[in-house]
Amino acid sequence: MLDTFLTTLHPGLTAGATAGLLLLSLLGSFVSAAFGAGGGALLLVGMTLWLPITAAIPLHGVIQLGSNAGRMGVMLPHVQWPLFGAFAVGAVIGVVAGSQLLVELPEGWVEALLGAFILYSLWGRMPLPPRGNRGITVAVGAVTNALTLLVGATGPLVAAYFRTLHLHRLRHVATFSACMMLQHSLKIAAFGALGFAFGDYVVFLAVMIGVGFIGTLLGRATVQRLNDQLFRQILRILLTLLSLRLLINGLAGAL
């Protein structure tokens, strides 16, 4: 009975693959709730084990949209609307430009680009633009929204910029969540315009989001009992291995 249910969720996958994706949603949300970062990247690169990159990125966007919308909803009074507005202007520009790049790039190059981007976010130094004025915020919105169509997980870049603004913690989390919610919404709209059939995945996505919520509750409940340093090291190694696989497979398919 369980196998039948899992196969029904995503007819194109085996029951084992669907179970693996649900486990990843649980683990990714657990990681984000317990350690504040890393869960979204883990979910995205893990999804590429069973899904083509052209499906993993838009589906990941829907799941992350649900997560960020929830955080924004409970912290709405703390959103800094002028900052959000400047980011939104850039976001619209960036998603239009990114859509053109996505059409031109072969799937193998997109896969390799995602692997390289995650590796850089793990081992490189995140660029820190000068502390904000509206022009810089517009530029950050444009660049990260163009990239999100290609690599999916540009949250670390946006977070790196927001840290330079030295916002109060509540304002930081609320405004960041609002910007990421917009980014994922535009990404979903762009993939929809390019013909991705989100309707085929409605039940699958609903269950993924529901399982992810359970992971969030578990992460919050156990955050004080975990060895933060050891877990982060394990997560970094796991993400590195998955990203190397993406990079090698993408280059092999593109060359």
Statement: residue 94 has pLDDT above 70: yes
pLDDT tens profile 109-162: 777 777 787 788 777 776 666 666 788 889 888 888 888 887 777 777 787 788
Q: What is the pLDDT of residue 103?
A: 66
Average pLDDT over residues 228-250: 75
Mean pLDDT of 91-96: 90
User: What pLDDT is stored for residue 89 in this prediction?
Assistant: 94
Alpha-carbon span 252 to 206, nearest angstrom: 34
Instruction: Give the residue with greater pLDDT, 128 vs 83.
Output: 83
Q: Give the containing element (helix H, strand E) for 147.
A: helix 134-151
> What is the predicted pLDDT for the residue at 12?
72
Give me the pLDDT at residue 88, please. Answer: 94
Tokens of 67: 């997560």
pLDDT at 185 over 80: yes
Is the model's pLDDT at 87 over the cut of 90?
A: yes
Residue 85's pLDDT is what? 92
Report residue 142 as tokens. Answer: 């444009």
Mean pLDDT of 217-228: 67
1 class by beta-carbon count within 10 Å (0-12 exposed, 13-18 middle, 19+ buried): exposed
For 206-217, the DSSP string reads: HHHHHHHHHHHH
pLDDT greater than 60 at residue 90: yes
Of the candidates 239, 214, 9, 216, the one whose C-alpha atom is nearest the C-alpha of residue 115 is 239
Each residue's pLDDT tens digit, 164-174: 787 877 787 78
pLDDT at position 9 is 65
